[in-house]
Structure 1
Amino acid sequence: MSVTDKLTSRLPMIPDRGDKSDVVSVVKLHGVITPHSTPFSRGTLNINSVESALLRAFSHDRLKAVALLINSPGGAPTQSGLIAERVRQLAEDKGVPVLAFCEDVAASGGYWLACAADEIYAHRTSMVGSIGVVSGGFGFSELIERFGIERRLYTAGENKRRLDPFQPENPADVAWLKDMHEQLHQLFADWVKQRRGSKLADDADLFTGDVWLGGKAEELGLVDGIGTLREVVAKRFPDAEITVAEPKKPLLAKLGLGAPAAAGVSALLHAIEQRTSWSRFGL
C-alpha cells in the first residue's frame, strides 16, 4: 500500500448521497423587493437576482418539491409579479409542488411571492398579509422658496411633471396616483384569489392591507398551516435531502469588495429605503 493510500484510508468517509436521494430544493427569498439592486447591494430581491437560484432549485433530477423561504416586507409590484410568475412557470415545467414558508414577514409583495406556492406555511409569530398598495414621498416647495431657490423644469406633455416634489401638491396628481393604487390593489387581490381560491375566508378585512400573525392568517385562509421548513418536509418527504439553491454572486461580491466611495450617497439612500420598509413591521 502506498503512502497516499495509507493516508486516505484513515480519512473519515463522506457518505455518497449522489443522485440516489430525493431532493427538496430551498430558495431563500429574503429582502426588500426592488428593481434597483446593484452588484454591491445585498438584501434585495428582483427577477435578475433570483433567476439563477430558481434555475438551480428546479434542476435536480430527483426533485420532490421546491421550498420558498420568504422573509420580505414587500416592495415593487412588478418585480413581485415577475418572480412569482417565474416560479409558477418552472413548477409547471417540472411538475413538482412548491411550498412557501413565511419567516418574520411575508407582507405585501412578500405575500405575493408566497402565493406562487401551492401551499403556504407560517410560524406562529410570522406577520402575514398586507394585501394593499402604498407609496410615499416628500414635498420641498416651501423649503426651496425659503432658501431662494428657483425650480426650472421643462417638459413636453402636460402630465410629465406629475408629483414633482418641488412643486405644490396638485389634487389632480393625487387623484391620478390613487387611481393607479386602486388598479394595482385589484390586481393583487385577483392574484391572491386565483392562487388561494376557496381556502380564503369570507372576511371583509382580508384585502384592507392589514397584517396578521400566523395563527390568524391560517384562520383567514392566507396560509395552510403552522409549521417550519424542516417539520413539514420531514413529514411530507421523509426520505428527501434538503438542499439550498444559492444564487450566483457577482464578481465584486466574490472578491469581497464593497461599493466605491462615489456610490456612497446612493448606497446610503438605498439603505434608508430598505430600513424604512422593514420598520413598518417593527423589525
Structure 2
Amino acid sequence: MSEQNQQTEAANEAGQKPNTIEDAKWQRDVIEKLAFSALTEQKTARRWSTLFKSLTFAYLLVLLLMALGVFNDGKKTFDTHTALIDISGVIEAGGEVNADAVMNSLHDAYDSKGTKGIILRINSPGGSPVQAGIINDEIKRQRKLHPNIPVYAVVEDICASGGYYIAAAADKIYVDKASIVGSIGVLMDGYGFTEAMKKVGVERRLMTAGENKAMLDPFSPVNPKHQELAQAMLNEVHEQFKTVVREGRGTRLKETPEVFSGLFWSGEQSIKLGLADALGSADYVAREVIKQEEIVDFTYQEDFASRIAKRIGASVSATLGEVIARQLISSGEVKLR
C-alpha cells in the first residue's frame, strides 16, 4: 500500500474528512471575496465617475454664466467715487495694454453716474504709436464730452515714450519723485545677418514685385534709399509725438533741445521741466485732488474663458518657427520705446 493511501485510511479511521472537502470550501471563500472586492471597486469607480461628471458640468455652467454676464463684475459701488484705470505694460494691439481695452475702461468709467474724476495709473515703457495715439485721441474726446469730470495721469515706476504719449492727454500728471518719465522719441530696431551668412556660406535668393518690397530685409545689405525712407517716416512720427506733448502740456512745458531727444528723467526733474505737474500717488489724487477717497477700479479685464482660450491657443500655435518668424517680422516695427 502506498504512503498516500495509508494517510487517507489513517484520517478516515480518526474520523476526519478528506482534504478535498476543505479545499473546496477554501476555494469558495476565495471566489466570494474576489467577487465582493470586484463589486466594491465597481461601485467606487461609479462614484468617482459621477463626481467628475458633476464637477465638469458645474465648471461649464460657471463659464456659461460668466459669458452671459450673470455674475457681478466685483466692483464695489458707491454714490460718488474716483474711477481708476490701470495702464500697465507694453502698449500694443492685442497686448497687455491696447486701445480697445483702455477705451472700454474709459466708457465704463464715464457711464458710471457716481464718477467724479478719473485716474489713469500708468506704468508703461511705451509701445505702439498707433495704439497710444488712439488712446490719446479718445481721452481728449471724452474730456470735451464730460468737462466736469477731470482726468489725471498718475505715474508709478515708469511713464516713457508711448506711456507718456497717453499721459499727455490728461488734465494733470502726478509722479513719484523716483519715477522714470520722458523718452519722447521713436525707434525702429532690427538685425542684419549678411556677414553671418557670408561666413556660413548662405546665399540670399529674394524675388519681389515692387522695387521697395524688400525694404529693411535683415538678410540683405542696407539700401541707402530705404534707410532714408525709414528715417523720414520716423521723423514724421516723432513730429506727431512732439505735437501731442506740446498740445497736452501747453505753457507748462519748458522746452529745451533735450526734451524731445529721447532722454528720460526722474519724476522730480520732470516736474521742473514741465513734463509733470506735482508729486502724488493714486490714493493722494483721489483723496486730496478729486476729493473722492473711494476708488472703483474700471480697468478692463478679460473674462476667465477668454484668458483660458488665449493661453491654450498660444500653447498650441507658438512653435519655434513661428516665434522666429514673428521676431523677424516685428524687427521693422515702429515703436515709441
Distance in 2, matches of 1:19 and 1:200, equals 37
Match of 1:50 among 102, 110, 118: 102
Deviations 1:140-176 (A, max 9, x none): 1222333333323222221111111010111222221
| Contact 1:103/1:123 (8 A) holds in 2 | yes
2:142 is matched by which residue type in structure 1? L
Q: Which segment drifts farther, 213-222 or 169-178? A: 169-178
Distance in 2, matches of 1:164 and 1:270, equals 14
Q: Which residue of 1 aligns with 2:90?
A: 32
Q: Which residue of 2 aligns with 1:200?
A: 253
Q: Which residue of 2 aligns with 1:246?
A: 299
| Contact 1:67/1:100 (8 A) holds in 2 | yes
2:253 is matched by which residue type in structure 1? L
Distance in 2, matches of 1:159 and 1:185, equals 23
2:306 is matched by which residue type in structure 1? L
TM-superposed CA distance for 1:191, in Å, is 0.7
Aligned-residue CA RMSD in angstroms? 2.5
Q: Would you say 1:99 and 2:152 are equivalent positions?
A: yes
Distance in 1, matches of 2:253 and 2:306, equals 45
| Contact 1:129/1:222 (8 A) holds in 2 | yes
Distance in 2, matches of 1:203 and 1:81, equals 23
Distance in 1, matches of 2:276 and 2:162, equals 15
TM-superposed CA distance for 1:69, in Å, is 0.5
Aligned length: 250
Q: Which residue of 2 aligns with 1:222?
A: 275
1:229 is matched by which residue type in structure 2? A
TM-superposed CA distance for 1:58, in Å, is 1.8
SS for the counterpart of 1:45 is: coil
Q: Would you say 1:188 and 2:241 are equivalent positions?
A: yes
Deviations 1:231-254 (A, max 9, x none): 122112334421111314153315
SS for the counterpart of 1:65 is: strand
Match of 2:315 among 257, 260, 278: 260
Q: Which residue of 1 aligns with 2:50?
A: none
2:92 is matched by which residue type in structure 1? T
TM-superposed CA distance for 1:117, in Å, is 0.5
Q: Which segment drifts farther, 71-80 or 197-206? A: 197-206
Distance in 1, matches of 2:285 and 2:194, equals 54
SS for the counterpart of 1:52 is: helix
Q: How does 1:1-283 map to 2 (within 5 A)?
A: 18-20=77-79, 22-35=80-93, 37=95, 44-95=96-147, 96-250=149-303, 251-253=305-307, 257-258=311-312, 259-265=314-320
| Contact 1:53/1:246 (8 A) holds in 2 | yes
SS for the counterpart of 2:85 is: strand
Distance in 1, matches of 2:289 and 2:324, equals 44
Distance in 1, matches of 2:300 and 2:195, equals 46
Q: Which residue of 2 aligns with 1:11?
A: none
Structure number with larger C-alpha Rg: 2
TM-superposed CA distance for 1:184, in Å, is 1.1
1:217 is matched by which residue type in structure 2? S
Q: Which segment drifts farther, 114-123 or 198-207? A: 198-207
Query: Structure 1 residues 29, 264: closer, same or farther in 2, change over 3 A?
Result: farther
Name the structure where helix makes up a greater proportion of residues.
Answer: 2
Q: Which residue of 1 aligns with 2:67?
A: none
2:317 is matched by which residue type in structure 1? A
Task: Give the fraction of aligned pairs with identical amino acids, expressed as a percent.
Answer: 34
TM-superposed CA distance for 1:203, in Å, is 2.3
Distance in 1, matches of 2:326 and 2:179, equals 25
Query: Structure 1 residues 176, 243: closer, same or farther in 2, change over 3 A?
Result: same
1:117 is matched by which residue type in structure 2? A
Query: Structure 1 residues 36, 255: closer, same or farther in 2, change over 3 A?
Result: closer
| Contact 1:71/1:104 (8 A) holds in 2 | yes
| Contact 1:218/1:225 (8 A) holds in 2 | yes
| Contact 1:68/1:98 (8 A) holds in 2 | yes
Query: Structure 1 residues 177, 83: closer, same or farther in 2, change over 3 A?
Result: same
Q: Which segment drifts farther, 231-240 or 253-262? A: 253-262
Distance in 1, matches of 2:206 and 2:273, equals 49
Query: Structure 1 residues 31, 239: closer, same or farther in 2, change over 3 A?
Result: closer
